[in-house]
Structure 1
Amino acid sequence: MAQRLNHNSLPILSIGALGGTVSMRTTQPGSGAQPVITGEALLDGISQLHEGLDVHIETLCLVPSASLDFNLLLEVLIWAQEQVKLGALGIVITQGTDTLEETAFFLDLLWDADVPLVLTGAMHPSDHPGADGPANLLDASRVALDTQSRKRGVLVVMNGQIHQPLHVRKCSSITLDAFNSPFFGPAGLMLENRVLYLRKACARTVLPMPRSIHHKVALLPATLSADTVLLEHVLALGYDALVVSAFGAGHVSVEWVDLIEQVTTEIPVLVASRTGSGPTAEASYGFIGSEMDLIDRGALMCGFLCPYKARILIWLLIGCGHARDIAKYVQRLGFKAAEA
């Protein structure tokens, strides 16, 4: 941990760099972009970030976000908690966008400080003519230091919008407007370099730090004419829970239902919609493989909680010893939180 220097008693902004596209550039012709730009180098050319601030930046790692994992995120969380103890008024994490929606949700479920923790990245590498990293980093820093952001937990700032981790999704692979919050919209906007929130902060769900990290949660997608081989072996492979990324409002094929029922007798089974927008149903369809049928067989519907975030929620609940409370937390995050 670098020593904090704040001789002028300026507001402290802490930035942790993890890599991703925001840190990438092409090192050789034809080689493709690589994560080589350190956190310190990210600040080059963003003079506004130093105006009236004590900016503390550390390079925590330099990897594409597809290679992040839960263990590393727990280390990032501890680093961010230390920044709060050292007096930071706002914290920004830069990372790749491929897993941004998942890391934001993971950290938000564990972030218990009033200080804002803001995640951002870039869709274009730093040497691209339309590089968006500097603007996103500047916006994220302004959001992190804004007093309106306090007690809102973790926030995602991309392309001039502020999103809540529970709702945000990456909905495009390349374009600058890759992030949105289906059904709910952004929580706020950047307007003329000012932070404008569109709704009030609401009650948050914060879990204890995991005591165990060696458990596994499987995620199986329902697809047209899918076989049952993976489902047949979920228990034998030692998984502690299963998330089914189901058709539509929470449906699977008739070939899957008996196997799912068997699995529910041993481990929790959550069913989320694979559509990317909209909730699972609870009482609309009654055919074999429908949401009503799966509920009768012991599965739990996830509401607005997407499959990826359902997997993270179960992993954390098992890790912190709250596995028996899965239904309560799914109801709170997948249904009640959607009403707030």
Structure 2
Amino acid sequence: MTLPTLAIGTLGGTLSMLQAAAGEGVTPGLDSTQMLADAPQLASLARISAKTLQMLPSASLSFIQLIDVLYWAKAQVEEGAHAVVLTQGTDTLEEVAYFLELLWPFDAPLILTGAMRAASEPGADGPANLLAAVQVALDSQSRGRGVLVVINDQIHAAEHVRKTESLAMAAFSSPHFGCEGLLIEGRACYLKPARPRHPLPEPWRLDQRVALLEADFAADTLLLEQVAGLGYEGLVIAGFGAGHVPAAWAKCVGYIVTRMPVIVASRTGSGPTARHTYGFEGGEMDLQRKGALMAGFLCPRKCRVLLWVLIGCGMDDELEHWLEEYRQPR
């Protein structure tokens, strides 16, 4: 039997980290070849080509580096790979997955995974998560589902997944929506049908900047007042509750929306913004009258990614349309 072809790209993260000496913190150390050696079962599943793309903690990844990762992943599929798996740190796994989801044009699966325990720790979960990611990537049911996050034997949609625990092994969930499926005895068991996808064209601009600010109790407006003059082309506000800000912030928003798009999302970690409930100054009805857009179920971090990509594609005039997709559960 001819084995399928699969490409694995490694970016670093906890899955690659080792402790050099007792008492020192872990740092990236395993390259792609060493990671494959720690999961020997992979050789029986596919003809695998692996490449070390980066060796970084995921907090240090950039949009420009991710564009390079996207080019590499696309080239693998165009050269015949059945699927692509990427490994990286969990700190920004949700943002990276969503970024790639917006731009991935193929039916071939693109699977991301990571680890919560370093490779040098007892019970390291990296090899098991890598094996699970490959098993999901090779499953025929994974085609047409875009970018998925596979971790802790759960399969999550890129647009819904969030890191909701800082150190726990079960660190990822998809609040309200739940995971897309489970890995059971080496096979992907999907709980939901695949949804239509509408990938965006690759950004032709890479120098745009989008700010993300969080509304806090008794926060002043000093930073907010400076945003429009600092070269930013978009603003995302992580608002209180269902998408609210202090009255003083609302006044600033009224000015900022004349200079750039403003999205207001919820900082709560779960649940959507409202649209027609609160009428006080700084409530969502007031912010919408001023020209701000409500994010619905899309979290603040992914709002920033979406706006960055749309500006880069010259399609920021379609922001309202994209956000409308996230105002109703899908």
The TM-score, its normalising length taken from structure 2, stands at 0.98
Over 3 Å off, 4+ runs: none
Distance 1:257 1:290 in 2: 8
Amino acid at match of 1:221: E
1:9 Cα deviation after fit: 4.9
1:132 Cα deviation after fit: 0.4
Matching residue of 2:221: 228
Distance 1:208 1:140 in 2: 26
2:116 aligned to 123, 135, 154, which one? 123
Distance 1:144 1:111 in 2: 15
Amino acid at match of 1:118: I
Q: Give CA deviations for 1:209-235 in whole Å, capped at 9, x if unaligned.
A: 001011110111000010100111111
1:213 aligned to 206, 217, 224, which one? 206
Q: Give CA deviations for 1:234-284 in whole Å, capped at 9, x if unaligned.
A: 111011011000000000011111111000111111000000000000001
Matching residue of 2:327: 335
1:281 aligned to 261, 264, 274, which one? 274
Matching residue of 2:51: 58
Q: How does 1:290-329 map to 2 (within 5 A)?
A: 290-329=283-322
2:82 aligned to 86, 89, 110, which one? 89
1:47 Cα deviation after fit: 2.0
Cα RMSD, aligned residues only: 1.0
Distance 1:40 1:10 in 2: 19
Distance 1:211 1:302 in 2: 25
Matching residue of 1:12: 5
1:112 aligned to 86, 100, 105, which one? 105
Matching residue of 1:133: 126
2:163 pairs with 1:173: no
Q: Give CA deviations for 1:29-74 in whole Å, capped at 9, x if unaligned.
A: 2221010100110012322100042111100110000000100000
Count of paired positions: 330
2:15 aligned to 8, 14, 22, which one? 22
Partner-residue secondary structure (3-state), 2:90: coil
Matching residue of 2:183: 190
2:106 pairs with 1:147: no
The TM-score, its normalising length taken from structure 1, stands at 0.96
1:39 aligned to 29, 32, 42, which one? 32
Q: Give CA deviations for 1:162-211 in whole Å, capped at 9, x if unaligned.
A: 00011000000111100000000000001112110000000113100001
2:255 pairs with 1:255: no
Amino acid at match of 2:169: L
Matching residue of 2:234: 241
2:65 pairs with 1:77: no
Percent of residue pairs bearing the same amino acid type: 52
Distance 2:47 2:79 in 1: 12
Matching residue of 1:4: none
Partner-residue secondary structure (3-state), 1:305: coil
2:36 pairs with 1:67: no
1:10 Cα deviation after fit: 2.8
Partner-residue secondary structure (3-state), 1:93: strand
Distance 1:193 1:114 in 2: 21
1:114 Cα deviation after fit: 0.8
Distance 1:321 1:254 in 2: 32
Amino acid at match of 2:164: C
Amino acid at match of 2:244: H
Amino acid at match of 2:292: A
Partner-residue secondary structure (3-state), 2:182: strand
Distance 2:14 2:129 in 1: 12
